[in-house]
Amino acid sequence: MYDYVIVGGGSAGSVLAHRLSASSAHRVLLLEAGQDTPPGKVPATILDTYPGQAYFDPRFHWTELKVRTQVVSHNNPDAERPPLRKYEQARVLGGGSSINGQMANRGAPHDYDEWEARGARGWNWDAVLPYFKKVERDLDFGNEWHGRDGRIPVRRVPEAQWPVHARAAAEAFRQAGFKALPDQNGAFEDGFFPLTVNVTETERVSAAIGYLDAETRRRPNLTISTETQVMSLIFEGTRCVGVHALVGGEEREFRGREVILCTGAIHSPAHLMRAGIGPAGHLKEHGIAVRADLPGVGQGLMDHPAISLSCFVQPEARLNRTALRRHMVVGLRFSSGIEDAPAGDMFMSVASKSAWHAVGEQVGSMLTWVNKTYSQRGQVRLASTDWRAHPEVEFNLLSDRRDLERLMIGFRLAATLSLSPPLAAVTADPFPASYSDRVRRIGVVNTKNRILTSIIARFLDGPAALRRAFIDRFVIEGFRFREVMEDEEALEAFIRKATIGVWHASCSCRMGAEEDPMAVVDTEGRVRGVQGLRVVDASVFPVVPSANTNFPTLMTAEKMADAILAGNA
Protein backbone atom coordinates (compact mmCIF):
# COMPACT_ATOMS: atom_id res chain seq x y z
CA MET A 1 0.00 0.00 0.00
CA TYR A 2 1.44 3.32 -1.10
CA ASP A 3 0.58 6.83 -0.01
CA TYR A 4 0.94 8.15 -3.56
CA VAL A 5 0.80 6.26 -6.86
CA ILE A 6 2.06 8.59 -9.60
CA VAL A 7 1.09 7.55 -13.13
CA GLY A 8 3.54 8.97 -15.65
CA GLY A 9 7.19 9.80 -15.13
CA GLY A 10 7.40 12.91 -17.31
CA SER A 11 8.20 16.41 -16.10
CA ALA A 12 5.35 16.61 -13.58
CA GLY A 13 5.73 13.02 -12.39
CA SER A 14 9.47 13.44 -11.81
CA VAL A 15 8.89 16.55 -9.70
CA LEU A 16 6.15 14.91 -7.64
CA ALA A 17 8.16 11.73 -7.05
CA HIS A 18 11.05 13.80 -5.72
CA ARG A 19 9.02 16.17 -3.57
CA LEU A 20 6.47 13.70 -2.14
CA SER A 21 9.15 11.15 -1.19
CA ALA A 22 11.29 13.75 0.60
CA SER A 23 9.57 12.72 3.85
CA SER A 24 10.29 9.12 4.85
CA ALA A 25 6.73 8.95 6.18
CA HIS A 26 5.36 8.80 2.60
CA ARG A 27 5.60 5.69 0.45
CA VAL A 28 5.68 6.79 -3.19
CA LEU A 29 5.39 4.72 -6.38
CA LEU A 30 6.24 6.24 -9.78
CA LEU A 31 5.00 4.34 -12.86
CA GLU A 32 6.35 5.12 -16.35
CA ALA A 33 5.45 3.37 -19.61
CA GLY A 34 8.81 4.09 -21.23
CA GLN A 35 12.37 3.16 -20.41
CA ASP A 36 14.44 4.39 -17.49
CA THR A 37 17.21 6.99 -17.81
CA PRO A 38 19.25 6.21 -14.67
CA PRO A 39 22.33 8.21 -13.67
CA GLY A 40 25.33 7.09 -15.67
CA LYS A 41 23.16 5.28 -18.24
CA VAL A 42 21.24 8.10 -19.90
CA PRO A 43 21.20 7.51 -23.69
CA ALA A 44 23.65 9.80 -25.47
CA THR A 45 20.96 11.21 -27.76
CA ILE A 46 18.96 12.37 -24.72
CA LEU A 47 22.00 13.98 -23.10
CA ASP A 48 22.91 15.78 -26.33
CA THR A 49 22.31 19.53 -26.25
CA TYR A 50 21.14 19.14 -29.84
CA PRO A 51 17.71 17.49 -29.38
CA GLY A 52 16.97 16.54 -32.98
CA GLN A 53 17.95 12.89 -32.69
CA ALA A 54 16.19 12.05 -29.42
CA TYR A 55 12.99 13.61 -30.69
CA PHE A 56 12.81 11.34 -33.72
CA ASP A 57 14.08 8.20 -32.03
CA PRO A 58 11.15 5.73 -31.90
CA ARG A 59 12.52 4.26 -28.67
CA PHE A 60 11.42 7.39 -26.86
CA HIS A 61 7.84 8.08 -27.99
CA TRP A 62 4.46 6.49 -28.63
CA THR A 63 5.02 5.34 -32.19
CA GLU A 64 1.35 4.80 -33.10
CA LEU A 65 -0.12 8.08 -31.83
CA LYS A 66 -1.63 10.27 -34.55
CA VAL A 67 -3.56 13.53 -34.33
CA ARG A 68 -5.45 16.01 -36.46
CA THR A 69 -4.08 19.55 -36.32
CA GLN A 70 -6.35 21.34 -38.81
CA VAL A 71 -9.91 22.37 -38.06
CA VAL A 72 -12.44 19.54 -38.12
CA SER A 73 -15.94 20.43 -39.30
CA HIS A 74 -18.41 18.82 -36.92
CA ASN A 75 -21.36 20.70 -38.41
CA ASN A 76 -20.80 19.19 -41.85
CA PRO A 77 -20.39 15.41 -41.68
CA ASP A 78 -19.75 15.27 -45.44
CA ALA A 79 -16.76 17.61 -45.26
CA GLU A 80 -13.38 16.07 -45.91
CA ARG A 81 -11.63 15.33 -42.63
CA PRO A 82 -8.10 16.66 -42.20
CA PRO A 83 -5.33 14.05 -42.44
CA LEU A 84 -3.98 12.28 -39.40
CA ARG A 85 -0.40 13.20 -38.55
CA LYS A 86 2.07 11.31 -36.43
CA TYR A 87 2.58 12.97 -33.07
CA GLU A 88 5.84 12.53 -31.18
CA GLN A 89 4.50 12.20 -27.64
CA ALA A 90 7.30 11.19 -25.27
CA ARG A 91 7.41 7.70 -23.80
CA VAL A 92 10.52 7.71 -21.59
CA LEU A 93 11.36 8.71 -18.04
CA GLY A 94 11.46 12.49 -17.99
CA GLY A 95 8.76 12.63 -20.66
CA GLY A 96 8.95 15.58 -23.01
CA SER A 97 11.86 17.05 -21.04
CA SER A 98 13.98 14.11 -22.23
CA ILE A 99 13.38 14.70 -25.94
CA ASN A 100 12.13 18.28 -26.38
CA GLY A 101 13.87 21.44 -27.59
CA GLN A 102 15.19 22.21 -24.07
CA MET A 103 13.54 25.65 -23.94
CA ALA A 104 13.29 27.06 -20.41
CA ASN A 105 10.56 29.61 -21.08
CA ARG A 106 8.04 30.79 -18.48
CA GLY A 107 5.57 32.90 -20.43
CA ALA A 108 4.05 36.27 -19.59
CA PRO A 109 2.80 37.57 -16.24
CA HIS A 110 -0.58 38.23 -17.87
CA ASP A 111 -0.88 34.50 -18.68
CA TYR A 112 -1.12 33.55 -15.04
CA ASP A 113 -3.26 36.52 -14.10
CA GLU A 114 -5.62 35.15 -16.76
CA TRP A 115 -5.45 31.72 -15.12
CA GLU A 116 -6.76 33.26 -11.91
CA ALA A 117 -9.39 35.27 -13.80
CA ARG A 118 -10.59 32.00 -15.34
CA GLY A 119 -11.15 30.52 -11.88
CA ALA A 120 -7.74 29.17 -10.83
CA ARG A 121 -7.61 31.10 -7.62
CA GLY A 122 -4.09 31.46 -6.22
CA TRP A 123 -2.39 30.95 -9.59
CA ASN A 124 -1.69 34.56 -10.58
CA TRP A 125 1.79 35.73 -11.57
CA ASP A 126 2.84 36.73 -8.07
CA ALA A 127 1.75 33.30 -6.80
CA VAL A 128 3.55 31.23 -9.46
CA LEU A 129 6.82 33.20 -9.73
CA PRO A 130 8.27 31.67 -6.53
CA TYR A 131 7.71 28.21 -8.01
CA PHE A 132 9.37 29.09 -11.29
CA LYS A 133 12.32 30.26 -9.19
CA LYS A 134 12.16 27.05 -7.16
CA VAL A 135 12.54 24.95 -10.32
CA GLU A 136 15.67 26.61 -11.67
CA ARG A 137 19.31 27.03 -10.86
CA ASP A 138 20.11 29.99 -13.08
CA LEU A 139 23.75 29.97 -14.07
CA ASP A 140 23.71 33.53 -15.45
CA PHE A 141 21.44 35.72 -13.30
CA GLY A 142 20.82 36.05 -9.57
CA ASN A 143 18.24 38.82 -9.48
CA GLU A 144 14.61 39.01 -8.32
CA TRP A 145 13.44 37.08 -11.39
CA HIS A 146 15.55 33.99 -10.88
CA GLY A 147 16.33 31.08 -8.57
CA ARG A 148 19.81 29.79 -7.81
CA ASP A 149 19.04 26.59 -5.89
CA GLY A 150 16.62 24.62 -8.09
CA ARG A 151 16.99 21.15 -9.54
CA ILE A 152 17.19 22.32 -13.18
CA PRO A 153 20.14 24.43 -14.35
CA VAL A 154 19.33 27.07 -16.97
CA ARG A 155 21.67 29.17 -19.06
CA ARG A 156 22.00 31.17 -22.26
CA VAL A 157 24.58 30.42 -24.94
CA PRO A 158 26.92 33.45 -25.20
CA GLU A 159 26.71 35.23 -28.56
CA ALA A 160 30.43 34.69 -29.13
CA GLN A 161 29.69 30.96 -29.50
CA TRP A 162 26.82 31.35 -31.97
CA PRO A 163 27.16 30.21 -35.57
CA VAL A 164 27.33 32.91 -38.23
CA HIS A 165 23.71 32.24 -39.26
CA ALA A 166 22.39 32.94 -35.74
CA ARG A 167 24.48 36.11 -35.41
CA ALA A 168 23.14 37.29 -38.77
CA ALA A 169 19.57 36.72 -37.57
CA ALA A 170 20.25 38.74 -34.43
CA GLU A 171 21.64 41.57 -36.54
CA ALA A 172 18.56 41.40 -38.78
CA PHE A 173 16.37 41.76 -35.69
CA ARG A 174 18.45 44.71 -34.52
CA GLN A 175 18.29 46.47 -37.89
CA ALA A 176 14.52 45.91 -37.98
CA GLY A 177 14.24 47.98 -34.81
CA PHE A 178 13.85 45.28 -32.18
CA LYS A 179 15.41 45.76 -28.77
CA ALA A 180 18.21 43.48 -27.56
CA LEU A 181 17.18 41.85 -24.27
CA PRO A 182 19.73 40.07 -22.05
CA ASP A 183 17.15 37.79 -20.43
CA GLN A 184 14.14 36.11 -22.00
CA ASN A 185 12.69 35.43 -18.54
CA GLY A 186 13.28 38.90 -17.11
CA ALA A 187 10.89 41.78 -17.68
CA PHE A 188 8.35 40.67 -20.30
CA GLU A 189 8.74 42.94 -23.30
CA ASP A 190 9.27 42.73 -27.03
CA GLY A 191 12.78 42.12 -28.30
CA PHE A 192 15.34 39.50 -29.24
CA PHE A 193 17.45 37.52 -26.81
CA PRO A 194 19.62 34.48 -26.29
CA LEU A 195 17.19 31.63 -25.67
CA THR A 196 17.09 30.30 -22.12
CA VAL A 197 17.73 26.55 -22.11
CA ASN A 198 17.88 23.79 -19.51
CA VAL A 199 21.34 22.50 -20.39
CA THR A 200 24.81 22.67 -18.97
CA GLU A 201 27.61 23.53 -21.39
CA THR A 202 27.66 19.92 -22.57
CA GLU A 203 24.44 18.11 -21.57
CA ARG A 204 20.65 18.31 -21.37
CA VAL A 205 19.21 18.26 -17.86
CA SER A 206 15.76 16.66 -18.10
CA ALA A 207 13.28 16.54 -15.25
CA ALA A 208 14.32 12.94 -14.66
CA ILE A 209 18.01 13.87 -14.50
CA GLY A 210 17.34 16.87 -12.26
CA TYR A 211 14.73 15.45 -9.90
CA LEU A 212 15.40 11.69 -9.94
CA ASP A 213 19.13 11.78 -9.32
CA ALA A 214 21.09 9.05 -7.56
CA GLU A 215 20.47 10.48 -4.08
CA THR A 216 16.70 10.64 -4.66
CA ARG A 217 16.65 7.11 -6.06
CA ARG A 218 18.32 5.79 -2.90
CA ARG A 219 15.33 6.78 -0.80
CA PRO A 220 13.83 3.52 0.54
CA ASN A 221 10.31 4.98 0.40
CA LEU A 222 10.47 5.69 -3.37
CA THR A 223 9.86 2.98 -5.96
CA ILE A 224 10.32 3.68 -9.68
CA SER A 225 8.78 1.15 -12.06
CA THR A 226 9.54 1.85 -15.73
CA GLU A 227 8.25 -0.02 -18.81
CA THR A 228 5.00 -0.15 -16.84
CA GLN A 229 1.80 0.73 -18.65
CA VAL A 230 -1.31 1.54 -16.62
CA MET A 231 -4.33 -0.34 -17.97
CA SER A 232 -7.04 1.12 -15.75
CA LEU A 233 -7.82 2.97 -12.56
CA ILE A 234 -9.27 0.97 -9.65
CA PHE A 235 -12.30 2.43 -7.87
CA GLU A 236 -14.30 1.51 -4.83
CA GLY A 237 -17.46 3.51 -5.38
CA THR A 238 -16.30 7.04 -6.13
CA ARG A 239 -12.87 6.65 -4.50
CA CYS A 240 -9.85 5.81 -6.61
CA VAL A 241 -7.80 3.26 -4.68
CA GLY A 242 -5.16 2.16 -7.18
CA VAL A 243 -4.30 1.08 -10.70
CA HIS A 244 -4.08 -2.06 -12.83
CA ALA A 245 -0.82 -2.10 -14.78
CA LEU A 246 1.18 -4.24 -17.15
CA VAL A 247 4.75 -4.70 -15.94
CA GLY A 248 7.05 -6.70 -18.17
CA GLY A 249 4.10 -8.55 -19.66
CA GLU A 250 2.65 -9.36 -16.22
CA GLU A 251 -0.53 -7.76 -14.91
CA ARG A 252 -0.09 -6.14 -11.51
CA GLU A 253 -2.27 -4.18 -9.12
CA PHE A 254 -0.93 -1.23 -7.13
CA ARG A 255 -2.96 0.35 -4.33
CA GLY A 256 -2.54 3.85 -2.98
CA ARG A 257 -4.12 6.43 -0.71
CA GLU A 258 -4.00 8.81 -3.66
CA VAL A 259 -3.50 8.25 -7.38
CA ILE A 260 -2.01 11.16 -9.34
CA LEU A 261 -2.29 11.20 -13.14
CA CYS A 262 0.69 12.87 -14.82
CA THR A 263 0.31 11.43 -18.32
CA GLY A 264 -0.18 14.69 -20.21
CA ALA A 265 -2.97 16.48 -22.03
CA ILE A 266 -3.63 13.59 -24.41
CA HIS A 267 -3.50 10.55 -22.15
CA SER A 268 -4.73 11.94 -18.80
CA PRO A 269 -8.25 12.68 -20.14
CA ALA A 270 -8.28 9.25 -21.79
CA HIS A 271 -7.53 7.56 -18.44
CA LEU A 272 -10.35 9.54 -16.83
CA MET A 273 -12.88 8.72 -19.54
CA ARG A 274 -12.10 5.00 -19.49
CA ALA A 275 -12.77 5.15 -15.74
CA GLY A 276 -16.20 6.73 -16.31
CA ILE A 277 -15.16 10.32 -15.61
CA GLY A 278 -16.02 12.71 -18.41
CA PRO A 279 -18.84 13.89 -20.70
CA ALA A 280 -21.79 11.59 -19.94
CA GLY A 281 -23.00 11.41 -23.54
CA HIS A 282 -19.61 10.40 -24.89
CA LEU A 283 -19.10 7.80 -22.18
CA LYS A 284 -22.49 6.24 -22.89
CA GLU A 285 -21.62 6.04 -26.60
CA HIS A 286 -18.85 3.66 -25.58
CA GLY A 287 -20.94 1.75 -23.07
CA ILE A 288 -19.01 3.15 -20.10
CA ALA A 289 -20.92 3.59 -16.85
CA VAL A 290 -20.78 7.23 -15.76
CA ARG A 291 -18.95 7.63 -12.47
CA ALA A 292 -18.71 11.43 -12.65
CA ASP A 293 -20.30 13.58 -15.36
CA LEU A 294 -17.56 16.11 -16.11
CA PRO A 295 -18.17 17.66 -19.55
CA GLY A 296 -14.79 19.40 -19.56
CA VAL A 297 -12.73 16.19 -19.67
CA GLY A 298 -10.91 16.14 -23.00
CA GLN A 299 -12.28 19.52 -24.10
CA GLY A 300 -10.44 22.79 -24.69
CA LEU A 301 -7.23 21.14 -25.92
CA MET A 302 -4.70 23.82 -26.92
CA ASP A 303 -1.32 24.24 -28.58
CA HIS A 304 0.58 27.06 -30.27
CA PRO A 305 -0.04 27.12 -34.04
CA ALA A 306 3.22 27.55 -35.94
CA ILE A 307 4.59 28.02 -39.43
CA SER A 308 8.12 27.92 -40.81
CA LEU A 309 10.14 29.75 -43.44
CA SER A 310 13.34 27.92 -44.35
CA CYS A 311 16.37 28.70 -46.48
CA PHE A 312 19.66 27.32 -47.70
CA VAL A 313 22.50 28.31 -45.34
CA GLN A 314 25.86 29.02 -46.95
CA PRO A 315 28.60 26.60 -45.80
CA GLU A 316 30.60 29.20 -43.85
CA ALA A 317 27.51 30.18 -41.78
CA ARG A 318 26.41 26.73 -40.64
CA LEU A 319 26.21 25.35 -37.14
CA ASN A 320 28.59 22.50 -37.94
CA ARG A 321 31.39 25.04 -38.41
CA THR A 322 31.37 25.63 -34.62
CA ALA A 323 31.84 23.49 -31.54
CA LEU A 324 28.28 24.27 -30.51
CA ARG A 325 25.66 21.50 -30.63
CA ARG A 326 22.54 23.58 -29.95
CA HIS A 327 20.66 24.55 -33.10
CA MET A 328 18.43 27.27 -31.60
CA VAL A 329 20.23 30.00 -29.67
CA VAL A 330 18.37 33.23 -30.49
CA GLY A 331 14.67 34.12 -30.37
CA LEU A 332 12.36 37.07 -30.91
CA ARG A 333 9.23 38.09 -29.01
CA PHE A 334 7.08 40.58 -30.89
CA SER A 335 3.58 42.01 -31.01
CA SER A 336 1.19 41.42 -33.90
CA GLY A 337 -0.71 44.65 -33.29
CA ILE A 338 -4.10 43.06 -33.88
CA GLU A 339 -6.96 44.36 -31.79
CA ASP A 340 -7.23 43.00 -28.23
CA ALA A 341 -4.04 40.92 -28.44
CA PRO A 342 -1.59 41.57 -25.60
CA ALA A 343 1.97 42.72 -26.20
CA GLY A 344 4.38 39.91 -26.99
CA ASP A 345 1.66 37.74 -28.53
CA MET A 346 4.05 36.31 -31.16
CA PHE A 347 7.32 34.36 -31.02
CA MET A 348 10.03 33.52 -33.55
CA SER A 349 12.80 31.02 -32.98
CA VAL A 350 15.79 30.83 -35.31
CA ALA A 351 17.10 27.36 -36.12
CA SER A 352 20.57 27.25 -37.66
CA LYS A 353 20.06 23.55 -38.36
CA SER A 354 16.73 21.98 -39.27
CA ALA A 355 17.40 18.27 -38.71
CA TRP A 356 20.05 15.85 -37.49
CA HIS A 357 21.06 14.67 -40.96
CA ALA A 358 23.25 16.16 -43.72
CA VAL A 359 20.42 18.07 -45.39
CA GLY A 360 19.29 19.46 -42.05
CA GLU A 361 22.75 20.96 -41.58
CA GLN A 362 22.26 22.95 -44.79
CA VAL A 363 18.81 24.32 -43.99
CA GLY A 364 18.05 27.12 -41.56
CA SER A 365 14.54 28.00 -40.42
CA MET A 366 12.59 30.78 -38.81
CA LEU A 367 9.82 29.08 -36.84
CA THR A 368 7.04 31.52 -35.98
CA TRP A 369 4.19 30.70 -33.65
CA VAL A 370 1.25 32.45 -32.04
CA ASN A 371 2.47 32.94 -28.50
CA LYS A 372 -0.96 33.95 -27.19
CA THR A 373 -3.36 31.69 -29.08
CA TYR A 374 -7.13 32.05 -29.13
CA SER A 375 -8.00 28.68 -30.74
CA GLN A 376 -9.52 26.64 -27.90
CA ARG A 377 -11.74 24.14 -29.70
CA GLY A 378 -9.46 21.13 -29.60
CA GLN A 379 -10.57 17.90 -28.00
CA VAL A 380 -9.54 14.43 -26.87
CA ARG A 381 -12.13 11.67 -27.17
CA LEU A 382 -12.01 7.93 -26.82
CA ALA A 383 -11.61 5.89 -29.97
CA SER A 384 -12.18 2.70 -28.01
CA THR A 385 -12.52 1.44 -24.47
CA ASP A 386 -9.42 -0.69 -25.07
CA TRP A 387 -6.60 0.67 -22.91
CA ARG A 388 -4.14 -0.10 -25.72
CA ALA A 389 -5.89 2.26 -28.14
CA HIS A 390 -4.78 5.87 -28.32
CA PRO A 391 -7.59 8.43 -28.11
CA GLU A 392 -8.84 10.52 -31.01
CA VAL A 393 -7.08 13.88 -30.87
CA GLU A 394 -8.20 17.00 -32.72
CA PHE A 395 -6.22 20.15 -32.02
CA ASN A 396 -8.36 22.33 -34.30
CA LEU A 397 -5.55 24.83 -34.73
CA LEU A 398 -6.67 28.05 -36.42
CA SER A 399 -10.26 27.53 -35.25
CA ASP A 400 -10.05 31.20 -34.30
CA ARG A 401 -9.30 33.32 -37.36
CA ARG A 402 -7.16 35.70 -35.31
CA ASP A 403 -4.53 32.96 -35.08
CA LEU A 404 -4.52 32.54 -38.86
CA GLU A 405 -4.18 36.28 -39.41
CA ARG A 406 -1.28 36.51 -36.99
CA LEU A 407 0.59 33.65 -38.63
CA MET A 408 0.26 35.54 -41.90
CA ILE A 409 1.75 38.61 -40.17
CA GLY A 410 4.52 36.47 -38.70
CA PHE A 411 5.35 34.80 -41.99
CA ARG A 412 5.63 38.15 -43.75
CA LEU A 413 7.96 39.38 -41.00
CA ALA A 414 10.11 36.25 -41.33
CA ALA A 415 10.28 36.81 -45.09
CA THR A 416 11.30 40.45 -44.65
CA LEU A 417 14.01 39.47 -42.19
CA SER A 418 15.33 36.67 -44.39
CA LEU A 419 15.71 39.10 -47.30
CA SER A 420 17.39 41.77 -45.18
CA PRO A 421 21.12 42.36 -45.78
CA PRO A 422 22.45 40.47 -42.70
CA LEU A 423 20.62 37.20 -43.51
CA ALA A 424 20.70 37.56 -47.29
CA ALA A 425 24.49 37.64 -47.04
CA VAL A 426 24.67 34.14 -45.51
CA THR A 427 21.57 32.40 -46.89
CA ALA A 428 19.81 31.82 -50.20
CA ASP A 429 16.61 30.50 -51.73
CA PRO A 430 14.01 30.99 -48.96
CA PHE A 431 11.02 28.68 -49.21
CA PRO A 432 7.78 28.01 -47.28
CA ALA A 433 8.46 24.91 -45.22
CA SER A 434 6.01 22.17 -44.35
CA TYR A 435 6.48 19.50 -41.66
CA SER A 436 5.02 16.88 -43.96
CA ASP A 437 4.97 13.11 -43.74
CA ARG A 438 7.87 13.07 -46.19
CA VAL A 439 9.91 15.28 -43.87
CA ARG A 440 8.95 13.09 -40.93
CA ARG A 441 10.00 9.91 -42.69
CA ILE A 442 13.41 11.27 -43.60
CA GLY A 443 13.77 12.56 -40.04
CA VAL A 444 13.69 9.09 -38.49
CA VAL A 445 17.13 8.26 -37.18
CA ASN A 446 18.43 5.30 -39.19
CA THR A 447 21.24 4.33 -41.55
CA LYS A 448 19.08 4.56 -44.68
CA ASN A 449 18.22 8.21 -44.01
CA ARG A 450 21.81 9.01 -43.11
CA ILE A 451 23.01 7.74 -46.50
CA LEU A 452 20.12 9.26 -48.46
CA THR A 453 20.54 12.73 -46.99
CA SER A 454 24.31 12.69 -47.53
CA ILE A 455 23.64 12.14 -51.24
CA ILE A 456 21.00 14.89 -51.42
CA ALA A 457 23.32 17.28 -49.56
CA ARG A 458 25.83 17.10 -52.41
CA PHE A 459 23.20 18.39 -54.83
CA LEU A 460 22.28 21.26 -52.52
CA ASP A 461 25.92 22.31 -52.18
CA GLY A 462 26.31 22.24 -55.94
CA PRO A 463 25.53 24.96 -58.50
CA ALA A 464 22.81 27.41 -57.42
CA ALA A 465 20.58 26.61 -60.40
CA LEU A 466 20.71 22.91 -59.60
CA ARG A 467 19.96 23.62 -55.93
CA ARG A 468 16.91 25.72 -56.79
CA ALA A 469 15.61 23.06 -59.15
CA PHE A 470 16.11 20.42 -56.50
CA ILE A 471 14.29 22.48 -53.84
CA ASP A 472 11.39 23.10 -56.23
CA ARG A 473 11.16 19.44 -57.17
CA PHE A 474 11.79 17.62 -53.92
CA VAL A 475 11.57 20.00 -50.94
CA ILE A 476 8.64 22.37 -51.21
CA GLU A 477 5.12 20.99 -51.28
CA GLY A 478 2.92 23.06 -53.56
CA PHE A 479 3.83 26.60 -52.49
CA ARG A 480 6.75 28.72 -53.66
CA PHE A 481 8.16 31.74 -51.87
CA ARG A 482 7.24 34.34 -54.49
CA GLU A 483 3.72 32.94 -54.82
CA VAL A 484 2.87 33.25 -51.12
CA MET A 485 4.47 36.68 -50.88
CA GLU A 486 2.56 38.12 -53.85
CA ASP A 487 -0.78 36.33 -53.48
CA GLU A 488 -2.73 36.74 -50.22
CA GLU A 489 -4.97 33.77 -50.99
CA ALA A 490 -1.95 31.55 -51.65
CA LEU A 491 -0.39 32.60 -48.33
CA GLU A 492 -3.60 31.78 -46.47
CA ALA A 493 -3.88 28.43 -48.26
CA PHE A 494 -0.27 27.59 -47.40
CA ILE A 495 -0.75 28.45 -43.74
CA ARG A 496 -3.98 26.48 -43.49
CA LYS A 497 -2.23 23.44 -44.97
CA ALA A 498 1.16 23.67 -43.29
CA THR A 499 0.40 24.98 -39.80
CA ILE A 500 1.47 22.59 -37.08
CA GLY A 501 1.44 22.66 -33.31
CA VAL A 502 4.71 22.76 -31.44
CA TRP A 503 4.02 19.83 -29.09
CA HIS A 504 2.58 22.07 -26.36
CA ALA A 505 -0.58 20.01 -25.79
CA SER A 506 -2.43 21.40 -22.77
CA CYS A 507 -5.72 22.46 -21.14
CA SER A 508 -7.78 19.26 -21.67
CA CYS A 509 -8.52 18.76 -17.93
CA ARG A 510 -8.39 22.34 -16.83
CA MET A 511 -8.58 23.61 -13.29
CA GLY A 512 -11.15 26.16 -12.32
CA ALA A 513 -13.76 27.38 -9.89
CA GLU A 514 -16.34 25.02 -8.39
CA GLU A 515 -19.18 26.75 -10.22
CA ASP A 516 -17.46 26.36 -13.61
CA PRO A 517 -19.15 23.40 -15.36
CA MET A 518 -16.12 22.82 -17.64
CA ALA A 519 -13.54 22.69 -14.84
CA VAL A 520 -12.21 19.17 -14.27
CA VAL A 521 -9.93 19.67 -11.28
CA ASP A 522 -9.68 22.16 -8.47
CA THR A 523 -6.63 24.34 -7.89
CA GLU A 524 -4.86 21.49 -6.09
CA GLY A 525 -5.42 18.99 -8.91
CA ARG A 526 -8.26 17.04 -7.25
CA VAL A 527 -10.68 15.57 -9.79
CA ARG A 528 -14.24 16.72 -9.18
CA GLY A 529 -16.89 14.21 -8.23
CA VAL A 530 -14.48 11.52 -7.03
CA GLN A 531 -12.00 11.06 -4.21
CA GLY A 532 -8.38 9.94 -4.08
CA LEU A 533 -7.57 11.08 -7.62
CA ARG A 534 -5.65 14.08 -8.93
CA VAL A 535 -4.34 15.28 -12.28
CA VAL A 536 -1.05 17.19 -12.28
CA ASP A 537 0.32 17.99 -15.73
CA ALA A 538 -0.18 20.46 -18.59
CA SER A 539 -3.77 19.29 -19.05
CA VAL A 540 -4.81 21.33 -15.98
CA PHE A 541 -3.72 24.68 -17.47
CA PRO A 542 -6.76 26.97 -17.80
CA VAL A 543 -5.21 28.35 -21.00
CA VAL A 544 -1.88 27.63 -22.66
CA PRO A 545 0.68 30.25 -21.55
CA SER A 546 2.82 32.27 -23.94
CA ALA A 547 5.64 29.78 -23.55
CA ASN A 548 7.01 26.38 -24.28
CA THR A 549 5.12 24.24 -21.79
CA ASN A 550 7.89 22.32 -20.02
CA PHE A 551 8.77 24.96 -17.44
CA PRO A 552 5.12 25.88 -16.74
CA THR A 553 4.54 22.15 -16.16
CA LEU A 554 7.48 21.93 -13.76
CA MET A 555 6.19 25.01 -11.94
CA THR A 556 2.69 23.52 -11.73
CA ALA A 557 4.01 20.27 -10.26
CA GLU A 558 6.13 22.12 -7.69
CA LYS A 559 3.15 24.23 -6.60
CA MET A 560 0.76 21.31 -6.42
CA ALA A 561 3.33 19.19 -4.55
CA ASP A 562 3.36 21.84 -1.83
CA ALA A 563 -0.46 21.81 -1.73
CA ILE A 564 -0.58 18.01 -1.52
CA LEU A 565 1.95 17.91 1.30
CA ALA A 566 0.21 20.71 3.18
CA GLY A 567 -3.17 18.99 2.87
CA ASN A 568 -1.84 15.64 4.06
CA ALA A 569 0.49 16.88 6.77
Q: Which candidate, 96, 88, 87, 91, places its Cα nearest to that of 32? A: 91
Q: Which candidate, 39, 155, 185, 13, places its Cα nearest to that of 97? A: 13
Strands 277-278 and 292-293: parallel
Residue 447, exposed/middle/buried by CB under 10 A (0-12, 13-18, 19+)?
exposed
Amino acid symbol at 373:
T
Q: Which candidate, 313, 329, 541, places its Cα nearest to that of 427? A: 313
Q: What DSSP string describes 386-404?
A: -TTSPPEEE--TT-SHHHH
Residue 133, CA distances (Å) to 127, 252, 340 in order: 11, 39, 30
**In angstroms, rounded to a whole number, what is the distance separating the alpha carbons of residues 364 and 314?**
10
**In angstroms, rounded to a whole number, what is the distance separating the alpha carbons of residues 10 and 554?**
10
The question of whether 271 is a catalytic residue gets the answer no
Other beta carbons within 10 angstroms of residue 467's beta carbon come to 18
**In angstroms, rounded to a whole number, what is the distance separating the alpha carbons of residues 235 and 328?**
46
* Three-state SS at 154: strand
Q: What DSSP string describes 376-388?
A: --EEEE-S-S-TT
Q: Per the residue annotation, which of 110, 267, 327, 504 is the catalytic one?
A: 504
Residues known to be catalytic: 504
